[in-house]
Structure 1
Amino acid sequence: MILGPIVDSAAVILGGVGGAFFAKRIPERLRTALPMTFGLASMGLGIEFIFQVKQIPAMVLAIILGSLIGELVYLEKGITAVGNGARTLIERLIPHHESHTALSSEDFSKQFVAILILFSASGTGIFGALTNGMTGDPTILLAKSILDLFTAAIFATALGYTVALIFIPQFAIQMGLALCAVFLLPLTTPVMMADFSACGGLIMLATGFRICGIKTFPIANFLPALVLVMPISYLWTTYAPG
């Protein structure tokens, strides 16, 4: 049984609902300080993954081409529109919930996209899903679910119940990868996996900068790089001189 994606998604639901429900009981200093801590953790994990890179040109090329594709198809704008639509739906269903009313639409969109990427497309989540599908070991995703539980709870104090809906893309991505792992992993090499992790780490680093309010990278537009990096790594390793 593929357990990891189920537990991780349940953690996001529980954290999102619990954080939104108890928002007014959580001290403001925690609501302000902890997201910065999560952003710092994302940057630290991202740096660790980046150091695993084997073919730096392949990683850089994947990020550039992925960002170009993301910009051309307005990927970030599309995810932002979905997030705002989910927010509107939640407000209609729960009209008296006011935990996130202090946020402007722009601030809501910035934070929502950042945590969606953090939950759904982090290197840890993707690698954990592949490992769970290939070996049946859910340990990586179980560890991630603990962090996601508290992260979702804290961000839900500002973003409301909308955070709980992030389990939908998260579950779809993780379960899809887990089911395909048996077919995908035999086609990969250690170098390809290392460059994939490094590319994901670069996105996690940018996500941390965004959560901390240091720099608002269009991180959703980087996501196509995760699809491109392994083929580019393979081609670079096979055909590049030296």
Structure 2
Amino acid sequence: MPIGIILNSLAVFFGGLLGAFLGNKIPERIRTALPLTFGAAAMAMGVIYIGKVNTLSAVVLSLILGSVIGELIKLEERIEWCAHRIRKPIERLFPTKGNIDNQDEFMEKFVAIVVIFCVSGTGIFGALTEGITGDHSILVTKALLDLFTAGIFAAALGYIVMTICIPQFIIMICLFFSASFILPMITSEMIADFMALGGIIMLATGFRISGIKAFPIGNMLPAVLIVMPVSYLWTAFIV
């Protein structure tokens, strides 16, 4: 049973629900300071993950190819379109809105937290680990972090944050059930490069959350799907 995945998704749901409900009751200085803290934490995690790299050339190539694919299919625009379509009925259902009215600023923050919750290296690796070994400790730890993260961002963005638990659960449960097929084909070197690639995206996400530079992180996401095959091919035929 995917206990860790269920707990992680419930943490995002209830964290988003509680944070949006409290809304303006959370002091302004906390609503402003904590997202910056989470941005710094994302950057720190990114640096740590990047340090695990095995074949830097393969990781950089994957990032470039993945970003090109993302730009061609306009992946980030599609995520923003989905968010815009979801936001209106959510705000009609729950009249209390978030504290960010500027559409561009809202989308910058929303896309960033979608990446953090749904495609972080910790979440993907945790789902695969639970699927093959039954060990849900990684995802339980992530659930605790996501509970508070969702709460703080929901105070600014509103109830739409709790809906992120749906794509998060779908992605993780797919990884959980496919783990027995995927993990036997993955080497430690491929995992290291995958984590490094995720670290680069997390670093860019931290910059975006902190308002330093709005990297198109949504368009970088296809790199997550190709980094392991590229790492394997690079190691087998080039190195």
The corresponding residue for 1:53 is 53
Q: Distance in 2 between matches of 1:154 and 1:86?
A: 20
The corresponding residue for 1:44 is 44
Q: Distance in 2 between matches of 1:71 and 1:98?
A: 31
The corresponding residue for 1:63 is 63
Q: Deviations over 1:62-113 (max 9, x none)?
A: 0000000000000000001111111111112123x1333x421111111000
Q: Distance in 2 between matches of 1:200 and 1:4?
A: 20
Q: Which runs of 5+ in 1 are unaligned?
A: none
Q: Deviations over 1:171-215 (max 9, x none)?
A: 011111111111000001110111011111111110000000011
Q: Distance in 1 between matches of 2:8 and 2:78?
A: 25
1:202 aligns with 2:193: no
1:99 aligns with 2:101: no
CA-CA distance at 1:122 after TM superposition = 0.6
CA-CA distance at 1:25 after TM superposition = 1.1
Q: How does 1:7-86 map to 2 (within 5 A)?
A: 7-86=7-86
SS class of match (2:2): coil
The corresponding residue for 2:133 is 135
Q: Distance in 1 between matches of 2:226 and 2:164?
A: 24
| Structure 1 length-normalised TM | 0.97
Q: Which runs of 5+ in 2 are unaligned?
A: none
Q: How does 1:114-129 map to 2 (within 5 A)?
A: 114-129=112-127
The amino acid that maps onto 1:183 is F
Report sequence identity in percent. 55
Structure 1 runs of 4+ aligned residues shifted over 4 Å read none
SS class of match (1:22): helix
Q: Is the 8 A contact 2:97 2:159 kept in 1?
A: no
Q: Distance in 2 between matches of 1:203 and 1:176?
A: 21
The corresponding residue for 2:142 is 144
Q: Distance in 2 between matches of 1:98 and 1:41?
A: 27
Q: Is the 8 A contact 1:99 1:159 kept in 2?
A: yes
Figure out how many residues of one structure are paired with residues of the other and give that number. Answer: 239
Q: Deviations over 1:104-160 (max 9, x none)?
A: 111111100000001001111111111111110000110001110000000001110
Q: Distance in 1 between matches of 2:5 and 2:44?
A: 23
Q: Distance in 2 between matches of 1:161 and 1:8?
A: 17
Q: Distance in 1 between matches of 2:182 and 2:104?
A: 38
The corresponding residue for 2:89 is 89
1:161 aligns with 2:162: no
The corresponding residue for 2:168 is 170
